[in-house]
């Protein structure tokens, strides 16, 4: 069974995320009976008022907040939090297999403080497949089980071609998914995503431009260390992401007329 993969393990910390990666969001949730918010996932600001993340991050009942432009994962900096007006999940998202694990959060305000990040498009499909190196970012737990204080970062290698041997008995689609990790031979584990940070961005340089090419999705075991991580391919899903943005925009326009 696919297990949501959520954190940067065997990476490093970025203590100046507010200036270097302000667009990498942490996603916070509060349940119907909660009186507090807690971080659950990561995401990428891709327009001035929309955050790209994993669909499985958006299945909880309750309300969401997005934190961006912060050096720390904490609930103290109120000016770095943004209310979420609505969410969108890929219409063919499968909660068991985690196929089409793509989601969006529409911010309640059109903010201009943080600039969005470029994402891969359909024309980048082959370039993404051929990419050898990736960068991973996320706000999750590290390999020791400690919650993030600073943004996590790791350099990874493309492992997609090894999918047939690394993921036997799993139904992997090399078009819609990217496998990435960095094998640490002396430890027998993979650096990459683990417990605590789904929805975070996977980056690659495509034709000289650094872009979000993947969304942290799942691993084949609970701690995610014995294999690379599976990422939703943003270029493959670009048309659906555009449609999701359009749907959320129409929703906001209707809501504004009602008010």
CB 105 within 8 A of CB 64: yes
The pLDDT tens digits of the residues spanning 79-93 come to 899 999 999 999 999
pTM over 0.95: no
User: What is residue 1's predicted lDDT score, i.e. its pLDDT?
Assistant: 44
**Token pair listed for 222:** 């609970």
Percent above pLDDT 90 for the chain: 66
Q: Is 73 left (phi over 0), alpha (psi -120 to 50) or beta?
A: beta
Angle at 106 between CA 30 and CA 214, to 5 degrees: 95
User: Regarding predicted confidence, which is higher, 103 or 79?
Assistant: 103
Most confident of 59-68, 153-162, 180-189: 59-68
- Residue from 176, 214, 211 nearest 192 by CA: 214
pLDDT at 190 > cutoff 80:
yes
User: What is residue 196's predicted lDDT score, i.e. its pLDDT?
Assistant: 59
Strands 63-67 and 81-89, bridge-based pairing: antiparallel
The pLDDT tens digits of the residues spanning 227-245 come to 889 999 999 999 999 999 9
- Sign of the CA dihedral running 54, 239, 24, 47: negative
């Amino acid at each position: 069974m696919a297990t949501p993969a959520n954190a940067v393990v065997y990476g490093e910390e970025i203590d100046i995320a507010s200036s270097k990666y302000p667009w990498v969001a942490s996603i916070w949730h509060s349940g119907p009976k909660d009186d507090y918010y807690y971080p659950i996932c990561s995401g990428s600001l891709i327009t001035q008022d929309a955050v790209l993340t994993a669909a499985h991050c958006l299945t909880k009942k309750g309300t969401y907040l997005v934190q961006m432009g912060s050096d720390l994962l904490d609930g103290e900096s109120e000016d770095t939090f943004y209310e979420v007006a609505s969410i969108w999940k890929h219409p063919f998202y499968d909660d068991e297999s985690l196929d089409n694990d793509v989601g969006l959060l529409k911010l309640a305000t059109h903010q201009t403080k943080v600039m969005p990040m470029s994402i891969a498009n359909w024309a980048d499909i082959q370039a993404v497949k051929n990419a050898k190196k990736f960068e991973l970012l996320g706000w999750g737990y590290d390999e020791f089980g400690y919650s993030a204080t600073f943004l996590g970062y790791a350099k990874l290698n493309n492992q997609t071609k090894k999918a047939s041997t690394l993921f036997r008995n799993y139904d992997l689609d090399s078009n819609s998914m990217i496998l990435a990790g960095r094998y640490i031979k002396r430890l027998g584990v993979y650096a990459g995503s683990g417990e605590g940070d789904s929805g975070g961005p996977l980056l690659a340089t495509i034709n000289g431009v650094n872009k979000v090419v993947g969304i942290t999705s799942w691993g084949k075991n609970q701690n995610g260390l014995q294999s690379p991580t599976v990422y939703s391919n943003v270029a493959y899903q670009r048309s659906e992401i555009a449609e999701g943005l359009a749907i959320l925009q129409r929703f906001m326009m209707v809501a504004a007329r009602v008010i």
